[in-house]
Chain A
Amino acid sequence: MQALKKLINIIEKINLKVGKASSYLIFVFMTLMVYEVISRYFFQSPTIWVHEICGQIFAAYVALTGGWVLLEKGHVAVDIIYQRFPKSGKLFANIVVSLIGFFMFTILFWQGYKFAWHAVTTNQHSHTIFGPPMWPVKMMIPAGALLFLLQIAADLAKTIVKHQERSVR
């Protein structure tokens, strides 16, 4: 049990650190966008790369914060009926939700990984004048799915640990 608790702790720390660090990416794309506006209107020289890079940073921003949002219980859900469940009902619901999450993000991880790995092996580049490599941004899908899977596992473990401790008492 202690080992499990330690594992939960490690996962939560990872998601917290990765999530918070990624949340500061907003300053990067904010600054780049302002730079684009200034260079277009004051120096008449629009860039070819700002929008594309901002899109790629946005992908990292969204993907890498997903697990952290789950940790902070920030994914909206309709909880007006759940609140009236008895304890056993809540336990059942929590386990079902975890299993559902596993199903969805395993598929996203698997499909996303295939998608990204294809970009790596074929050394795929974007079809724009700027033409950056595509694998880093494509890797964000499996990376985000992995962070979700870790957090779902931690949440499920927490549910079970809490249930066990209660039934021992």
Chain B
Amino acid sequence: MNPGIIVALMFLAVIVLFILRTPVAFTLGVVGIGFLLMLNGPRFLLMLPPAILETMTSIILLAIPLFIFIGCMLEKSGIADEIFEMIYKWLGPVPGGLAIGTVFICVVFAAMVGVVGAATVTMGLIALPAMLKRNYKSTLAIGCISGGGALGFLIPPSVTMIVYASLSNLSIGKMFLAGVIPGFLLAGLFMSYILIRSLIDPTLAPPIPVEERATWAEKFASIKNLAMPFVLIFSIMGTIFSGLATPTEAAAVGAFVSMGIVLIRERSGKKTLKVVTDAAEKTALLTSMVLWIIIGCLAFSAVVNTLGLPLMLKDFIDSLGINRWVVLIAMQLSFFLLGMVMDDLPIIMITVPIYVPLVTLLGFDPLWFGILFIVNMQMAYLTPPFGFVLFYMKGVVPPHITMGDIYRSVWPFIGLQALCLLIIIFFPQVVLWLPSVVGM
């Protein structure tokens, strides 16, 4: 049978199973096993257990639960309240200041936490009511939390990056470094956009009244609220980038520090124990979900590999004389469309086995492509109608704000993410410069 038809059938099977609400792990596993049986015979099932064992004992993937654990701890730690208090004192008098500050807090969170949910959830609970109370336009308030929360994908550490890097055999440390400049660039774009719009139209995000402003002494006293986050960021990122420890070891150190932070804040062993055990259970549920998707994908990608699909597609593209940039742009569009209906992990699993070898054959840098992928996933996080953040926001906003208002509020931020994507496409140095100068 023509390999092209086989792949088309595989994707058809995946779509049918997705419609029936089959868990992603089962879908990929069953389609992979089914086609492996049909094409290669039962003998080939022997290759599954060793591959599964390699995945389940992977020290690289072991970083995933540790980073998720840090996120669960910090969500409960009250650190976000403290930083927000500082932001309020420093940036409250500036038009749009609280929204700019919210993006700043999202950056700090993104640098501590590997999952995107934590920043979105905490900012939705703390920053959103505060901004609405200060008469910020709801569209701006919702938009900055949604856009800022998604920065967690791009600013290291990032679980999505770990999964991408391990599936495409890239160095996690390099991938993390590659995300740093684009991450700050995007945060800068968000902040400038908010500032410019608020300066043009101060009713959008009015400065707080003069009598409520903090004195300089209060402002400086509040800087200490940044101490604990910076200890944590330094203990994770410093150890990875200096080459002192592997990302997994750094994550373990960070997890210990995060427990210490909660203990210091709660000042009660009993309460801390409750937070810690809750976090451990939530972490196991998330990690197991992620790992079983990867395990399911092993069979799926084994079939794709035995068919030699990427090489075939490359020949096909060459024979049609299509420019490689057209292929790249078509891939970006497919990410965007898939992102409207799926989460980041299923998209990684079904596209990476085909796309990454293909872009490498076409002469693109897989690391650079990885960051393009991550920026796309940020957009997917926000894109109506099914972006995760939209439903979350609907849950925390006051009832008079409709889903339509929420949809409207995210578009400018999706536009800025698209701008960032274009900058990365035209200036690959933005991604590749930092990993090339920091030797690890």
The answer to whether A binds B is yes
Complex Cα–Cα for A105 and B437 (A): 46
> Do the beta carbons of A77 and B288 come within 8 Å of each other?
no
Against A, the Cβ 8 Å flags (1 = close, 0 = not) of B40-54 are 000001101110110
> Do the beta carbons of B292 and A69 come within 8 Å of each other?
yes
Against A, the Cβ 8 Å flags (1 = close, 0 = not) of B48-69 are 1110110011110110011001
Total contacting residues, chain A, CB less than 8 A? 57
- Chain A residues contacting B29 (CB-CB under 8 Å) are 104, 108
CB distance from B57 to the nearest CB of A (A): 3
> Do the beta carbons of B288 and A111 come within 8 Å of each other?
no
- Chain B residues contacting A137 (CB-CB under 8 Å) are 53, 57
Against B, the Cβ 8 Å flags (1 = close, 0 = not) of A1-36 are 000000000000000000110111011011101101
CB distance from B392 to the nearest CB of A (A): 15
> Do the beta carbons of A74 and B289 come within 8 Å of each other?
yes
A-B contact count (CB 8 A): 173
Instruction: Please report whether the interface of chain B is mostly helix, strand, loop or mixed according to DSSP.
Output: helix
Complex Cα–Cα for A58 and B287 (A): 10
> Do the beta carbons of A23 and B61 come within 8 Å of each other?
no
> Do the beta carbons of B346 and A76 come within 8 Å of each other?
yes
> Do the beta carbons of A97 and B285 come within 8 Å of each other?
no
Interface flag for B277 (CB, 8 Å): yes
Chain A residue with the shortest CB-CB distance to B296:
A104
- Chain A residues contacting B21 (CB-CB under 8 Å) are 77-79, 81-82, 93, 97
Interface residues, chain B, CB within 8 Å of chain A?
17-27, 29-30, 33, 45-46, 48-50, 52-53, 56-59, 61-62, 65-66, 69, 239, 244-245, 248-249, 251-253, 255-256, 277, 280-281, 283-289, 291-293, 296, 341-343, 345-346, 386
A–B complex contacts, Cβ < 8 Å, 20 sampled? A23-B280, A23-B285, A30-B255, A31-B252, A33-B252, A51-B59, A58-B58, A62-B291, A76-B293, A77-B24, A82-B21, A97-B22, A100-B17, A100-B26, A100-B30, A104-B30, A108-B52, A114-B49, A116-B49, A138-B53
Interface residues, chain A, CB within 8 Å of chain B?
19-20, 22-24, 26-27, 29-31, 33-34, 36-37, 41, 51, 54-56, 58-59, 61-63, 65-66, 68-70, 72, 74-82, 93, 96-97, 100-101, 103-104, 107-108, 111-112, 114-116, 137-138, 140-141
